[in-house]
């Protein structure tokens, strides 16, 4: 399955240059998402824009497939990439570039749950209390299975299926998905969590 990793925004809240290239434990943040999807067996394409020229250069140097979007917005760039890269009716992953704790087993678990559900789309969520427990973002919440939850940043959509798609709302009680990096405080938290874990 195609996996579009969205890396076309400025990441202005973090104020550290292009967010996909901010290093965590010595590696660009984007590299973690690329590895997670590729190791799970998916065809990775990074969706970048004129706002992230160094990210585009990094992808070229690493031999990672690149789609150059207009940078009009998250949804707009997804729609443009899907229209240009996919035939109608084919499902694909979307993921954000700032999920450094994403792993192949999480990606596979999401796909398995979506296939069992049989819906055109899947959105992933983590309980708000889990985000709060780890000091992470809770700007947007929605009730999923009776639980206040925050978006986890990984979705499945079906290309060419216009309008709102019937979706599985998948609630994942996995602390690795709370680290969606938008602020320096969140960056410090994930540095502490991930670098310590890698050194064990």
> What local confidence, expressed as pLDDT, does residue 189 receive?
86
Q: Are 54 and 47 in contact (CB under 8 A)?
A: no
**2-199 is classed CATH 1.20.210.10:** no
Rounded distance between C-alpha atoms, residue 126 and residue 171, angstroms: 6
Q: How confident is the model at residue 72 (pLDDT cuts 50, 70, 90)?
A: confident
Q: 86 pLDDT exceeds 80?
A: no
Question: What is the residue-averaged pLDDT of the chain?
Answer: 88
> What local confidence, expressed as pLDDT, does residue 181 receive?
82
> What local confidence, expressed as pLDDT, does residue 67 receive?
94
> What local confidence, expressed as pLDDT, does residue 79 receive?
86
Question: What is 16-31 written as a DSSP string?
Answer: SSSGGG-EETTEEHHH
> What local confidence, expressed as pLDDT, does residue 11 receive?
62
In percent, the amount of the chain with pLDDT more than 90 equals 61
Ranges of each domain in the chain: 2-199
Which residue would you say has higher pLDDT here, 78 or 105?
105
Which of 164, 166, 130, 169 has its CA nearest to residue 146? 169
Q: 29 pLDDT exceeds 90?
A: yes
In percent, the amount of the chain with pLDDT more than 70 equals 90
Which residue would you say has higher pLDDT here, 3 or 188?
3
For the stretch 129-181, pLDDT in tens is 998 887 776 778 999 999 999 999 999 998 765 556 789 999 999 999 988 88
On the CB side of 72, CA atoms within 13 Å amount to: 9
> What local confidence, expressed as pLDDT, does residue 163 receive?
59
For the stretch 1-25, pLDDT in tens is 999 999 987 666 666 788 899 999 9
> What local confidence, expressed as pLDDT, does residue 162 receive?
56
């Amino acid at each position: 399955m195609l996996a579009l990793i969205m890396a076309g925004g400025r990441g202005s809240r973090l104020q550290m240059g292009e967010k996909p290239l901010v290093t965590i434990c010595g590696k660009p943040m984007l590299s973690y998402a690329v590895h997670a999807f590729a190791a799970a067996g998916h065809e990775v394409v990074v969706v970048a824009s004129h706002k992230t020229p160094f990210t585009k250069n990094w992808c070229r140097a690493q031999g990672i497939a690149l789609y150059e979007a207009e940078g009009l917005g998250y949804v707009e760039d997804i729609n443009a990439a899907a229209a240009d890269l996919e035939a109608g009716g084919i499902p694909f992953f979307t993921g954000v570039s700032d999920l450094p704790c994403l792993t192949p087993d999480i990606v596979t678990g999401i796909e398995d749950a979506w296939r069992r559900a049989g819906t055109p789309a899947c959105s992933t969520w983590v309980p708000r209390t889990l985000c709060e427990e780890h000091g992470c973002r809770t700007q947007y919440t929605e009730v999923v299975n009776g639980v206040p939850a925050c978006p986890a940043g990984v979705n499945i959509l079906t290309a060419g299926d216009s309008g709102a798609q019937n979706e599985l709302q998948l609630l994942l009680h996995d602390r690795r998905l709370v680290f969606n990096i938008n602020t320096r405080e969140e960056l410090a938290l994930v540095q502490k969590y991930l670098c310590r874990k890698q050194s064990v």
